[in-house]
Copies of this chain bind each other. A is one copy, B any other.
Amino acid sequence: MSVEEVAQAKNAVEFSRENLESVLKRRFFFAPSFELYGGVSGLYDYGPPGCAFQANVIDVWRKHFILEEDMLEVDCSMLTPYEVLKTSGHVDKFSDWMCRDLKTGEIFRADHLVEEVLESRLKGDQEARGLTKDANANAQEDADKKKRKKKVKEIKAVKLDDNVVKEYEEILAKIDGYSGQELGELMIKYNIGNPVTGEALEPPMAFNLMFETAIGPSGQLKGYLRPETAQGQFLNFNKLLEFNNHKTPFASASIGKSFRNEISPRSGLLRVREFLMAEIEHFVDPLNKTHPRFDEVKNIKLRFLPREVQQSGSTEPIETTIEDAVATKMVDNQTLGYFIARIYSFLMAIGVDSNKLRFRQHMANEMAHYAADCWDAELKTSYGWIECVGCADRSAYDLTVHANKTKEKLVVRQKLEEPVQVTKWEIELTKKLFGPKFRKDAPKVESFLLNLSQEELEAKAKELKAGGKIVFEVEGMDSQIELDDKFVSIEQVTRTEHVREFVPNVIEPSFGIGRIIYSVFEHVFWSRPEDSARAVLSFPPLVAPTKVLLVPLSNHPDLSSVAHQVSKVFRKEKIPFKVDDSGVSIGKRYSRNDELGTPFGVTIDFESAKDGTVTLRERDSTKQVRGTVEEVVKAIRDITYNGVTWEEGTKSLKPFETQSE
């Protein structure tokens, strides 16, 4: 088959999630954890091919980002004390809305419940209108119901008013943005209760998604499993800056597991309780977000779904270069744009289908209040468009909150070429008077005053001048405090500064590796048109779990001996391979192998025993060529690790004709 024929063949048989899942299960790419004990939802184990694929994806990620961009990798603790996550905002805000059914004890995630119920009513409406779907879509849905543990078990064919349909559709479009109270109101307004019993539920309550534990034997130190890998990087900022010889911009990176105690996990690998993340924190001057290597990526064309397009109700992306996207301010700045382009090229390298990738900008209400801009790389799967990589400009938020809390400076100091005159309000405290007056509270009062902003200082200066005293309240102290000018002075001072001090902004590309892996499974999966039971996973050789299947044609000792020799060569070259010397037919062995996504097959036959040549088979086209072991190994290495095409890599090898598989 030619390249074009292969491309055609890949699209000939319609994608079936059921078939894919059957292959992934049969070949142990992954499986529910603790299945022997009945399983725990939202927890999965990767078997050998899934684990190898994951390791290869991480290896590419490490080379593509950390090595190529000279990032500073850190590996930080997962166990995280309460204080850190209180400061970061996770203790207060990292939660979903849950509703309890007091009768059955069931717990529902409010937004998912509203979504499912309204969707099922819309489907019922379609049925009542006689607009049913094809059998395949129905089968898919049936399979979904079983697999995804949908709460709504049955679709009732009930026609809705046209304006109700419109209301439902509008709600579904905004389903990610509702507060708990709003969800509760929707549930009352549209009579959404337990989908099975119809009973009303408790109003939505916030459920924090962090797993809680106690550190140490006393049980006194409350901790959580980290919900993301970012905090460890922020907390080490000063050490990293020093390690980088105080040069900026620079980036840190971290690869590791994070945890979210999902209310009711669903969608297989897409929403799980324990997951591998890879996160970058790029620390950059807020006044200069250009990127020195932007030119290298500027011509990359991407599909953007900016805020305005979404607001207009469209899902039609804008296709343009990243240079243009930054120039028109669609993407906020060059550094953000640079990373968006680099995310794209990483995803291409590991097998994502470029036609199933878009960059969607966060709507204003989706984004954290401090974020300057945020884009998600979304991958299209049978579950819809899935957020797989986030790329946010988090401004100076994280470093600022940790610095404020710990009173440690987290700043960059930059020598100015030219000294500048800076006029500032400055406060001075007569510290010896604070102790006698405030006793143990003295540090609190001092800290409050020393942390006033320029605006606050200006106001206080006026107050002091006007009334000879200032009045204020300090958190954790009961009464108002009054201080006169014996205690404080506030003056406007002009100084010559030789150093500029600033809190860097953070651009954060954040990768959900499990979600990316599952999406790639869908993108590279196809069935041979001549026999749809013959499934193939067309992983790019670079990330394929195993690179080569070694197949002795029979168990004859002569062939085993050659197989042993060839194995040694692959082992020495550190090319991951498997031997299949099972008795089954060669066709069966290759089929098994196609399901594992192994890009190359090397067959050892009686000729091999005589002249040392072997055949090399390409997985997708099933083309075969023949050459010496050395030639074949070189071709495999070039195609797998050096980015050479099959045609180029095998041009010196002889085509090998065989009966069709």
Residues of B within 8 A of A46 (CB): 74-76
Given A63-B574, A77-B43, A243-B27: A33 in contact with B232 (beta carbons within 8 A): yes
The reply to whether B582 and A217 contact each other, CB–CB distance below 8 Å, is: no
**Stretch of A49-57, A453-461, A631-639 at the chain-chain interface:** A49-57
The reply to whether A218 and B105 contact each other, CB–CB distance below 8 Å, is: yes
Given A45-B76, A79-B43, A79-B273: A37 in contact with B84 (beta carbons within 8 A): yes
Indicate the member of A34, A62, A63 with the most B CB atoms within 10 Å: A34
The reply to whether A214 and B212 contact each other, CB–CB distance below 8 Å, is: yes
Q: How far is the CB of A422 from chain B (nearest CB, A)?
A: 28
Chosen A-B contacts, 12 in total, with CB atoms closer than 8 Å, are: A28-B239, A37-B235, A40-B79, A40-B223, A48-B74, A48-B240, A51-B74, A63-B574, A78-B257, A79-B211, A79-B259, A207-B217
Residues of B within 8 A of A136 (CB): none
Q: How far is the CB of A68 from chain B (nearest CB, A)?
A: 6
- B-facing residues in A7-51 (Cβ within 8 Å): 27-28, 31, 33-37, 40-41, 43-48, 50-51
Return the CB mask of A235-261 against B: 1 if under 8 Å, else 0.
Answer: 110011011010000000000110101
Say yes or no: is A98 at the interface (Cβ < 8 Å to chain B). Answer: yes
Given A34-B81, A73-B48, A235-B36: A225 in contact with B213 (beta carbons within 8 A): yes
Interface residues on chain A, size class: 35 or more
Residues of B within 8 A of A207 (CB): 217
Say yes or no: is A576 at the interface (Cβ < 8 Å to chain B). Answer: yes
Say yes or no: is A613 at the interface (Cβ < 8 Å to chain B). Answer: no
Interface residue from B31, B83, B212, B580 paired with A37 (Cβ < 8 Å): B83
Interface residue from B47, B211, B218 paired with A236 (Cβ < 8 Å): B47
Interface residue from B27, B34, B225, B232 paired with A45 (Cβ < 8 Å): B232
The reply to whether A67 and B273 contact each other, CB–CB distance below 8 Å, is: no
Indicate the member of A36, A50, A77, A215 with the most B CB atoms within 10 Å: A36
Residues of B within 8 A of A486 (CB): none
Q: How far is the CB of A347 from chain B (nearest CB, A)?
A: 20
Residue of B nearest to A582 (CB): B245
Say yes or no: is A107 at the interface (Cβ < 8 Å to chain B). Answer: yes
Q: How far is the CB of A111 from chain B (nearest CB, A)?
A: 14
Interface residue from B40, B578, B582 paired with A221 (Cβ < 8 Å): B40
The reply to whether A80 and B34 contact each other, CB–CB distance below 8 Å, is: yes
Q: How far is the CB of A561 from chain B (nearest CB, A)?
A: 15
The reply to whether A235 and B68 contact each other, CB–CB distance below 8 Å, is: no
Say yes or no: is A516 at the interface (Cβ < 8 Å to chain B). Answer: no
Given A45-B75, A239-B28: A40 in contact with B81 (beta carbons within 8 A): yes
Q: How far is the CB of A641 from chain B (nearest CB, A)?
A: 9
Residues of B within 8 A of A571 (CB): 67-68
Residues of B within 8 A of A217 (CB): 98, 107, 207, 261, 263-264
Q: How far is the CB of A243 from chain B (nearest CB, A)?
A: 5
Say yes or no: is A484 at the interface (Cβ < 8 Å to chain B). Answer: no
The reply to whether A239 and B31 contact each other, CB–CB distance below 8 Å, is: yes
Residues of B within 8 A of A107 (CB): 217-218
Residues of B within 8 A of A216 (CB): 41, 261, 263
Q: How far is the CB of A298 from chain B (nearest CB, A)?
A: 19
Q: How far is the CA of A549 from the CA of B660 in the complex (A)?
A: 54
Residue of B nearest to A108 (CB): B217
Given A55-B62, A578-B70: A45 in contact with B77 (beta carbons within 8 A): yes
Q: How far is the CA of A47 from the CA of B75 in the complex (A)?
A: 7
The reply to whether A28 and B78 contact each other, CB–CB distance below 8 Å, is: no
Residue of B nearest to A44 (CB): B77
Q: How far is the CB of A231 from chain B (nearest CB, A)?
A: 9
Q: How far is the CA of A212 from the CA of B79 in the complex (A)?
A: 12
Say yes or no: is A408 at the interface (Cβ < 8 Å to chain B). Answer: yes
Interface residue from B33, B36, B77, B215 paired with A408 (Cβ < 8 Å): B36
The reply to whether A28 and B242 contact each other, CB–CB distance below 8 Å, is: yes
Residues of B within 8 A of A239 (CB): 28, 31, 47
- B-facing residues in A386-427 (Cβ within 8 Å): 402, 406, 408
Q: How far is the CA of A553 from the CA of B80 in the complex (A)?
A: 44
Residue of B nearest to A545 (CB): B73
Q: How far is the CA of A481 from the CA of B532 in the complex (A)?
A: 57
Residue of B nearest to A208 (CB): B217
Residues of B within 8 A of A62 (CB): 55
Q: How far is the CA of A458 from the CA of B387 in the complex (A)?
A: 63
Say yes or no: is A72 at the interface (Cβ < 8 Å to chain B). Answer: yes
Given contacts A55-B62, A207-B217, 8 further A-B contacts (CB under 8 A): A37-B406, A45-B77, A45-B236, A47-B240, A48-B243, A67-B574, A79-B211, A213-B213
Residues of B within 8 A of A273 (CB): 79, 215
Interface residue from B52, B213, B264 paired with A211 (Cβ < 8 Å): B213
Residues of B within 8 A of A259 (CB): 79
Say yes or no: is A285 at the interface (Cβ < 8 Å to chain B). Answer: no
Indicate the member of A33, A225, A256, A406 with the most B CB atoms within 10 Å: A33
Residues of B within 8 A of A84 (CB): 34, 37
> What 7 A-B pairs are tightest by C-beta distance, nearest first?
A33-B77, A46-B75, A48-B72, A43-B77, A45-B76, A51-B73, A211-B213
Residue of B nearest to A69 (CB): B571
Q: How far is the CA of A408 from the CA of B74 in the complex (A)?
A: 42
- B-facing residues in A577-618 (Cβ within 8 Å): 578, 580, 582
Q: How far is the CA of A257 from the CA of B74 in the complex (A)?
A: 15
The reply to whether A274 and B74 contact each other, CB–CB distance below 8 Å, is: no
Residues of B within 8 A of A256 (CB): 257
The reply to whether A74 and B47 contact each other, CB–CB distance below 8 Å, is: yes
Residues of B within 8 A of A214 (CB): 211-212, 261
Residue of B nearest to A109 (CB): B217
Q: How far is the CA of A45 from the CA of B578 in the complex (A)?
A: 37
- B-facing residues in A424-442 (Cβ within 8 Å): none
